[in-house]
């Protein structure tokens, strides 16, 4: 198993700690069962010789559940920027948008539908949708979806953009014609879009699976694909990563949009809409649970977690990733009741409340920092809160504290 984990790390930059070694091994064994491989050695040989099975393993590891208009605030922010900034500055041409990874097509079609519903003509849109998996690309091209792809209370778009066929729904024109699908690897040498320039890129909830080196390479490639002043949408878990790699957030509530720091410093920052405590329970995936951090504060003795406790927190993170926020909160609180004060539990609770637009998130980050005053992720999240509230000095100081921790993180990552 360790050799297969190493192959995944070397082949795709996967950081096994992001999904848990036990979860990764379960995924590998499921693939072994699917192909009839009884021994790990046999399966290791198969993925070394079969590109098809290698790709299926990669898909099983990183392909996450998706649905139309997942994290609606990102689509609302995109629509606002296209209407108020891009169209006034471009009398002709198409707004170029990249969705990567596009999975089975829900995200790129959502992008097209959101902009069409806002009155943007189909002739002014070009959405490129890219994924490593040829299998999901084929599903996206078919454009036929079941009820699991439609969630939430607001489904009026389904009547406008889909044709119902029994229990299935087929994407109609013009949304279909706005999107071009293709199979490719963002980090591959032959990435076919390397010379393209995009006004907006959606690359959400992919980078968290990579190790640090691969993350840096991915951000370099994404930067090369953006036009000057272009906007990158990432998952909420990836905002700290973007900041580490030269981007800065646009302070658009729950949209998780960013630009190159140098460009943002010279641009007029869009007004941030007010944060509200009321939000969809599936609004966003919270930041990832970091590797357990030894506390340095006065409660250090109370936060030592045994292996089962770490598994419980990993389970809580995965529930949060899937939008089951209430259950994730329950597990975190049970962990605190059973194990005592915990940096990682407080940070995850803060991330979940942050994803719901709940200002109490700050209290959880503060508790994490009380246990470990140099906790990197909590420092960055508190810096973002300070920025939203217009306290530039506090944000600067928090980032400086985080930067002092960075050399240590690089040595342990």
Tens of pLDDT along 138-197? 999 999 999 989 988 889 999 999 999 999 999 999 999 999 999 888 887 767 665 568
Predicted local confidence at residue 268, as pLDDT: 47
Lowest-pLDDT range of 301-305, 385-389, 405-409: 301-305
Lowest-pLDDT range of 44-58, 282-296, 314-328, 357-371: 282-296
Lowest-pLDDT range of 2-6, 16-20, 77-81, 402-406: 16-20
Average pLDDT over residues 326-355: 86
Average pLDDT over residues 239-256: 85
**pLDDT single digits (tens) 259-276:** 987 665 555 444 443 433
299 pLDDT band, cuts 50/70/90, is: very low
Average pLDDT over residues 351-372: 82
* Residue with the larger pLDDT of the pair 289 and 124: 124
Tell me which range, 202-211, 270-279, 289-298, is most confidently predicted by mean pLDDT.
Answer: 202-211
Average pLDDT over residues 63-77: 85
Domain-wise residue ranges, the chain: 2-62, 72-266, 300-412
Average pLDDT over residues 213-239: 89
Which long-range contacts link 190-193 to residues 24+ away (Cβ below 8 Å)?
191/221, 193/98, 193/128, 193/130, 193/225
Lowest-pLDDT range of 111-115, 118-122, 222-226, 352-356: 352-356
Predicted local confidence at residue 149, as pLDDT: 93
Average pLDDT over residues 278-288: 35
Mean pLDDT of the chain: 80
Q: Which CATH number fits domain 300-412: 1.25.40.10, 3.30.420.10, 2.40.40.20, 1.10.1060.10?
A: 1.25.40.10
Predicted local confidence at residue 17, as pLDDT: 63
Q: What percent of the chain has pLDDT over 70?
A: 80
Q: Which CATH number fits domain 72-266: 3.20.20.70, 3.40.50.150, 3.40.50.300, 3.30.420.10?
A: 3.40.50.150
Closest CA to 85 of 269, 337, 294: 269
Predicted local confidence at residue 141, as pLDDT: 96
Domain 72-266 and domain 300-412, same fold? Reply is no
Q: Is the pTM of this model over 0.75?
A: no
In the predicted structure, residue 337 carries a pLDDT above the cut 60: yes
Predicted local confidence at residue 298, as pLDDT: 34
Predicted local confidence at residue 156, as pLDDT: 94
Predicted local confidence at residue 29, as pLDDT: 87
Average pLDDT over residues 270-292: 37
* Residue with the larger pLDDT of the pair 345 and 194: 345
In the predicted structure, residue 56 carries a pLDDT above the cut 50: yes
Average pLDDT over residues 247-255: 84
18 pLDDT band, cuts 50/70/90, is: low
CA within 13 Å, CB half, 32: 17
Predicted local confidence at residue 79, as pLDDT: 96
Predicted local confidence at residue 173, as pLDDT: 95
* Residue with the larger pLDDT of the pair 237 and 146: 146
* Cβ contact 201:98 at 8 Å: yes
């Amino acid at each position: 198993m360790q050799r297969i984990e190493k192959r995944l790390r070397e082949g795709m930059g996967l950081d096994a700690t992001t999904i848990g070694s036990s979860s990764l091994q379960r995924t590998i064994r499921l693939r072994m069962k699917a192909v009839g491989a009884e021994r790990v050695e046999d399966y290791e040989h198969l993925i070394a010789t079969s590109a098809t099975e290698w790709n299926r393993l990669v898909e099983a590891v990183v392909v996450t559940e998706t649905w139309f208009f997942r994290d609606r605030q990102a689509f609302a922010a995109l629509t606002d920027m296209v209407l108020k900034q891009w169209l006034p500055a471009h009398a002709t041409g198409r707004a170029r948008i990249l969705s990567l990874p596009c999975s089975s097509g829900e995200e790129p079609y959502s992008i097209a539908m959101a902009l069409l519903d806002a009155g943007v003509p189909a002739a002014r849109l070009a959405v490129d949708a890219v994924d490593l998996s040829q299998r999901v690309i084929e599903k996206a091209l078919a454009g036929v979806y079941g009820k699991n792809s439609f969630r939430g209370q607001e489904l009026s778009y389904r009547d406008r953009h889909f044709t119902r066929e029994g229990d299935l729904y087929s994407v109609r024109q013009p949304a279909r014609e706005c999107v071009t699908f293709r199979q490719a690897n963002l980090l591959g040498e032959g990435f076919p879009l390397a010379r393209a320039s995009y006004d907006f890129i959606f690359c959400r909830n992919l980078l968290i699976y990579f190790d640090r080196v691969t993350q840096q390479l991915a951000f370099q490639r994404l930067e090369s694909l953006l036009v000057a002043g272009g906007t990158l949408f990432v998952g909420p878990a990836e905002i700290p990563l973007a900041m580490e790699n030269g981007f800065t957030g646009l302070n658009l509530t729950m949209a998780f949009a960013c630009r190159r720091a140098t460009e943002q410093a010279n641009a007029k920052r869009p007004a941030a809409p007010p944060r509200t405590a009321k939000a969809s329970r599936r609004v966003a995936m919270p930041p990832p649970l970091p590797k357990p951090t030894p506390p340095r504060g006065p409660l250090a003795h109370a936060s030592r977690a045994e292996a089962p406790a770490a598994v419980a927190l990993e389970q809580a993170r995965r529930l949060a990733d899937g939008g089951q926020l209430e259950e994730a909160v329950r597990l975190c609180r049970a962990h605190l009741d059973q194990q005592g004060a915990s940096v990682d539990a407080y940070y995850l609770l803060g991330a979940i409340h942050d994803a719901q637009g709940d200002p109490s998130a700050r209290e959880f980050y503060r508790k994490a920092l009380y246990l470990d005053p140099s906790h990197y992720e909590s420092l960055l999240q508190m810096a973002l809160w300070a920025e939203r509230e217009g306290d530039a000095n506090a944000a600067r100081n928090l980032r400086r504290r985080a930067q002092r921790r960075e050399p240590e993180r690089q040595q342990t990552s």
